[in-house]
Chain A
Amino acid sequence: MIVYTLKRLLAGVITVWFIATATFIAMHQVPGDPLLNDKAVSAEIRKNLERRYGLDKPITHQYLIFLRNMLPPNPDFGISFTQQNRRVNDIIKDHFPVSAILGLLAIFFSAAGGVLFGALTAIYRNRLPDIVIMFLVILGISVPSFVFAALGQLLLVNVNSLMGYSLIPVAGWGSFTHMLMPSLVLGLGTMALLTRLMRTSMLDVVNEDYIKTARAKGLSPQRIFFKHQLRNAILPVITVLGPQIAVITTGGFIVELVFAIPGLGRYFVQAVQQLDYTVIMGTTVFYGAFLVFMVIVVDILYGFIDPRVRVQ
């Protein structure tokens, strides 16, 4: 298990290095100039700006400096181009927790909903609940999140105006009630995905020999369902949950914009639009490392849920 974990970690480090290098190359290939702004500046000021961000050095030199600064234990991604007195490290430190809380809540909604609805559809296969839920699932997968975000917010506005006071805030950040609608919206897509996955997996499991054995032993249907069917069927769900956590905690740009949430997703997208080199590198490497880490965590977690993995 330890060797396995170490191997996975090493592979993870190489993956992150690869992500960083690819991003660095791609970023410098993007046409445009990060230092240009609405007002043109003189050659002298331009030179000073280049020096400040190290852009006066050859590209290979810039890459080496970047790699050196990125090394643990104290990775330093430098100063943002657009927010010139903020360090990229501070941007990540300030805004990732917001995205993470939102993401975790979204994952909670989607996992709970996904497992519940997935199990329901499997139990009521080809009957009305199944058809209704599967219709909603297709809707959930195919409708983009900005539509749900706008609809969700509109719903809150209408509910609040009906109530005569603000029951649930329509946007902003700070209290638990602020998080409800955005995390639900953020989790919808994943919930739909997990529902489908759970349904298929439940239907696969139901024909397995061990279920038949359990039934033959005379176990109660509840016990069969919870102890044997659900526990086995949930495995594929856990597999996708890991990467999905990373996707959700990083992919909330639209939701963050609509609900005025100070998450990292906003900075990430804006950085790309503004060619903010340091923030692009910082957030990509951070997200990359986070994604890789989540996959490893899930792999290890697998061992606990399914003893067969440990034996292999």
Chain B
Amino acid sequence: MRLTLTAYLLLFTIGCLGQVNATSVDFDSQSITIAFSEEPPQLNSMKATDSVSIDVLSHTMEGLARYDRRGQMVPGVADRWEIDDRTATFWLNKNAKWSDGVPVTAKDFVFAWRTALDPATASEYAFILYALKNAEVINKGELPPTALAVRALDDHTLEIELERPTAYFINLTAFASYFPIREEFYKKKGERYAADASDLIYNGAFMMTEWVHGASLKLVKNPHYWNKDSISLNAINVDYITADSRSQLNLFIDGKIVHTQLDGDTYKDALSQKFRIRRFTTGVIYFQEYNHRPGRITANKNVRKAIQHVFDPHEMVNRVLATPGNLPGESLFPVWLNGVKGKFRQEYPAPRAKIDVSLARKYLENAKTELGIKEIPPLVLLVGESPTATKNAEYMQGLLKSKLGLDIKIDKQTFKQRLAKMSSGDFDMVGAGWGPDYDDVMTFGDLYASWNLNNRGRYINPEYDRLVRVAMNSSVPQVRMDAMGEMQQILFDDAVLLPTSEQGIIYLIHPKLKGVTRRVIGADPDYTYARVVK
């Protein structure tokens, strides 16, 4: 037995000698090495929903338009476009090619969008295509996919009818679900499409040449990319896949990866190593969602108002989360969203609740009278398993007990079970988060529309719905933002939710790597325009 083992070991030693120790940046070859927190679960752009897959896709694929380094929309596959309230026309760049040299055509977009909307595809992100005329009915199976009002007038002209005026349509075209897919290739691969590096073709700045599942990916510059001259990096090696932040920090210290995100633990070690720590606000908002279903204690507005007047998001961010980068949550609409001319939150400042315990207690007394009860029964606070979620919940529990005498039962659940309970309404309060899908206030605003399936607390307010529709059906920025401003006021007045924080992250990046873009939407970090300096 031991002989065979020794033989095994010998074989391996022989087979593996001569491996070179690569470093995280190389100026001459313009290549970098990074780590992923997990294996990309789904590289089919029609079905991808998670951030790692979208990271890979955003480096390797391109939609009609794309975000530049400053977050502005610039030509992608399309050279130019005209968009009005009802139609959009895109003229495609004749040099846009797939990684095998075949031109990208308007038909590739038509095919991708029809297929994604086909209910048989079961795309979880199909809703983002609902801006296209007939998309929603097709997705419900009431019309065939061919009924989609998107036509390839010729190989390089794409004509789109919109369901309603969509002021942010151009932003949507940069999203993964809007990426093109070549029909012939997709059908040839069948079930295997996107299963391996060779089961995909790419039209973006990079293409994936290797994918060892669970271990590594290699992205190299796409020689057929129309804009390849503006791309400096020749290779992005994803040599490590681990969710362990300490392991990632160790790899960074050892000079093996160019970027690592820090958490409460590793932050202190990074400080002691004297690294330059950077921060970034991810655009994700965290909040506590209430259950508004009839019969629930939290359906009572006075209960929610009472909580609103004792909770201080600044204390939450500074004393509970206690890592740099987070911002206090003051509204459903995070600070980075654009308004009419400047930032939305500057044009429409979020109303703030004064911390006032006696006022809060009055609200609570009113609630008890309205509900006809002497004592508020214990409220269930549903949370996920992460240490941060637990810490936040315990803070909330202590706060509400000490200030209002409310008993909170913390219901800690695994990811899927938490979702199941959220969907079935088995909670009073739940710790939730929401990240943007596209660069417009609507990606947050319609969350509390009565028809939104993600409105898991079932908040129903016809006035709020009306305002969402106003913002949906107009392309006039002032009209839309005014409606959103009113919605923000309603959310505050009704204490519909309790915003807690805007997620900030802290990270380290190799000093020789320049031009890495941090993005609220799409690939983050985005290495597309990065370069290694001497």
Contacts and interface: CB of A to CB of B under 8 A. Distances in A.
A153 interface: yes
A173 interface: yes
B127 to A, nearest CB: 8
B49 A258 contact: no
A40 B456 contact: yes
Interface stretch (B102-110, B164-172, B251-259, B286-294): B251-259
A302 to B, nearest CB: 12
Contact of A267 (B191, B194, B214, B417): B214
Contact of B124 (A45, A86, A101, A153): A45
Given A95-B214, A161-B253, A172-B240, A260 B19 contact: no
A37 B49 contact: yes
* Residue in A42, A91, A111 whose Cβ sees the most chain B Cβ within 10 Å: A42
B251 A37 contact: no
Contact of B119 (A31, A44, A91, A111): A44
Contacts of B254: 156-157, 160-161, 166, 169-170
B126 interface: yes
A262 B140 CA distance: 39
A204 interface: no
B420 A31 contact: yes
Contacts of B243: 257
A92 to B, nearest CB: 11
A85 B124 contact: no
A41 interface: yes
| Interface size, A (range) | 35 or more
A259 interface: yes
A16 interface: no
Interface in A32-71: 32-34, 36-42, 44-45, 48-49, 52
Contacts of A98: 214-215
Contact of A262 (B215, B246, B456): B215
Contacts, number: 180
Contact of B139 (A39, A42, A94): A42
Contacts of B251: 170-172, 260
A273 B414 contact: yes
B124 A260 contact: no
A105 B2 CA distance: 11
B416 A260 contact: no
Contact of B140 (A44, A154, A257, A260): A44
Contacts of B8: 101, 104
Contact of B21 (A49, A82, A169, A267): A169
Interface in B73-131: 119-127
Interface string A231-243: 0000000000000
A45 B42 contact: no
A226 interface: no
B239 A176 contact: no
B453 interface: yes
| Interface size, B (range) | 35 or more
Interface in B247-291: 247, 250-251, 253-256
B242 interface: yes
A34 B416 contact: yes
* Residue in B125, B243, B250 whose Cβ sees the most chain A Cβ within 10 Å: B250
Interface string B300-325: 00000000000000000000000000
Given A48-B120, A176-B16, A42 B9 contact: no
Nearest to A167: B21
Nearest to B454: A40
Contacts of A86: 195, 213
B212 interface: yes
B214 A84 contact: no
B405 to A, nearest CB: 31
Interface in A77-118: 82-86, 91, 94-95, 98, 101, 104-105, 107-108, 111-112
Given A36-B420, A95-B214, A274-B416, A176 B241 contact: no
Contact of B419 (A36, A85, A172, A266): A36
B205 interface: no
Contacts of A74: none
A274 B415 CA distance: 7
Given A84-B41, A111-B2, A260-B240, A37 B12 contact: no
B423 A40 contact: yes
A104 B241 CA distance: 22
Interface string A250-284: 00000001111111001100000111000000000
* Residue in A36, A95, A161 whose Cβ sees the most chain B Cβ within 10 Å: A36
B343 interface: no
A112 B2 CA distance: 9
Contacts of B9: 105, 108, 176
5 contacts: A36-B420, A36-B423, A45-B122, A101-B8, A260-B251
Interface of B: 1-2, 5-6, 8-9, 12-13, 15-17, 19, 21, 35, 39, 41-44, 47, 49, 119-127, 139-141, 191-195, 199, 212-215, 239-244, 246-247, 250-251, 253-256, 413-417, 419-420, 423, 453-454, 456
8 residue pairs, one from A and one from B, having the closest CB atoms: A262-B214, A40-B453, A32-B416, A32-B417, A260-B242, A262-B215, A48-B122, A175-B19
